[in-house]
Chains A and B, each alone.
Chain A
Amino acid sequence: MATVEFRAVTKRFDDVVAVNDLSLRIADGEFMVLVGPSGCGKTTALRMVAGLAQPTAGEILIGDRVVNADSPGRRDIAMVFQNYALYPHMTVERNIGFGLRQRRMPRAEVQARVREVSTLLGLEDLLRRKPAQLSGGQRQRVAMGRALARHPQAFLLDEPLSNLDAKLRTQLRAELKKIHQLVPTTSIYVTHDQVEAMTLGDRIAVMSAGRIQQLGPPQEVYDRPANLFVAGFIGNPAMNLLPAAARSGVLTSGDLRMPSPDGADGEVILGVRPERLSAAGDGDARPAFDITVDVVEPLGSEIVVHGSRVDSGAGAESATITARLAVGAMPAAGERLRLAFDPAATHVFDAATGAALRSG
Chain B
Amino acid sequence: MRFSWPSPRHLFLAPLALIMAAPLIWMAITSIETPDQARQFPPVLIPHGIDWHNYTRAVDSAPFGAWYLNSIVVSLVVVLSNLVLCSLAAYAFARIRFFGANVLFIALLATLMVPFQVILIPTFLIVRHLGLIDNVSALIVPNLVNAFGIFMLRQFFRTLPIELEEAARIDGCSRLGVLIKIVLPLSVPALSTLALIMLLWTWNDFLWPLVAINTEKHMTLQVGLSTFQGQHQTQWTVLMAGNVLALLPLVIAFLLTQRSFVRSIAASGVKG
Contact = CB atoms under 8 A, between A and B. Distances in A.
B270 interface: yes
B173 interface: yes
A86 B163 CA distance: 9
A36 B144 CA distance: 52
A103 interface: yes
What is the size category of the interface that chain B forms with chain A?
A: 20 to 34
B47 interface: no
B56 interface: no
Contacts of A87: 164, 167-168, 182, 272
B51 interface: no
Interface string A133-146: 00000010000001
B249 interface: no
A50 B170 contact: yes
Contacts of A79: 166-167, 170
Contact of A73 (B161, B174, B271, B272): B174
B177 interface: yes
Interface in A127-166: 130-132, 139, 146, 150
Most buried by B among A75, A88, A99: A88
Contacts of B167: 79, 81, 85, 87, 146
By secondary structure, the B interface counts as helix
Contacts of B271: 88, 132
Contacts of A77: 170
Most buried by A among B161, B164, B272: B272
Interface in B218-272: 267-268, 270-272
B171 A85 contact: no
A82 B167 CA distance: 11
A99 B169 contact: no
A251 to B, nearest CB: 50
Most buried by A among B167, B168, B186, B267: B167
A84 interface: yes
B177 to A, nearest CB: 7
Contacts of B186: 88-89
A99 B168 CA distance: 8
B263 to A, nearest CB: 12
Given A88-B267, A89-B186, A89-B267, A131 B272 contact: yes
A99 B172 CA distance: 6
Contact of B171 (A51, A83, A102, A132): A102
B174 to A, nearest CB: 7
Nearest to A90: B185
A88 B174 contact: no
Interface of A: 50-52, 71-75, 77-79, 81-89, 98-99, 102-103, 130-132, 139, 146, 150
Interface of B: 161, 163-164, 166-174, 177, 182, 185-186, 267-268, 270-272
Given A52-B166, A73-B172, 19 more contacts: A51-B169, A52-B169, A73-B171, A75-B170, A79-B170, A81-B163, A81-B166, A85-B167, A87-B164, A88-B164, A88-B271, A89-B186, A99-B170, A102-B171, A102-B173, A130-B267, A132-B271, A132-B272, A150-B171
